[in-house]
Amino acid sequence: MSLPDKAFPISWDQFHRDARALAWRLAGANQKWKAIVCITRGGLVPAAVISRELGIRIIETVCVASYHDYASQGQLQVLKEVNPALLENDGESVLIIDDLTDTGKTAGIVRAMLPKAHFATMYAKPKGRPLVDTFVTEVSQDTWIYFPWDMGFTYQKPIADDQVK
């Protein structure tokens, strides 16, 4: 398994700040959200923060699994669909929350389920960006984001160490 060239590690503190920043943007949309549909697993943590900040009590999940390595995304499989009650009016007034849109494949599947929902994600890469309505930070396609739940506390060598070869 080859690791990506660009790494973007995110601490719990930074993740919480970014989730609150996303909530601020969504609060400014002058929309009354009736529910959140979070894409598991990555959307669970930001959905918890956003639901608290915006006072949204109904949180539903859609479970999409993709089996991949660091270089490519494999076949997608919907493991759990959205509650049919939220599909009414094509998901109008529903927030879809995820941590990241990468290739846009998962986003496309969920968007097709809820075409009128508002799709919000913390981080967006160029290929997935057109499917997202609101996001906090855009990163390059060749960057691998290391989320806080993926990491332990270990030494990180300086970027310059990789440059000098």
Point out the residues that are catalytic. 98-99, 102
Instruction: Return the higher-pLDDT residue of 151 and 11.
Output: 11
Q: How far is CA 61 from the centre of its chain?
A: 13
d(CA 109, CA 91): 14
pTM of the predicted protein model: 0.85
pLDDT tens digits, one per residue of 13-69: 999 999 999 999 999 888 899 999 999 999 999 999 999 999 999 999 999 987 655
Taking the alpha carbons of 138, 52, 98, 143 in that order, is the dihedral positive or negative? positive
> What are 119's two structure tokens?
């799709």
Question: Is 102 annotated as contributing to ligand binding?
Answer: yes
Say which CATH architecture domain 6-163 belongs to: 3-Layer(aba) Sandwich (3.40)
The SS3 assignment for 53 reads helix
pLDDT tens digits, one per residue of 107-117: 999 999 999 99
Question: Is 28 annotated as contributing to ligand binding?
Answer: no
pLDDT tens digits, one per residue of 63-79: 998 765 555 566 888 99
Question: Is 42 annotated as contributing to ligand binding?
Answer: yes
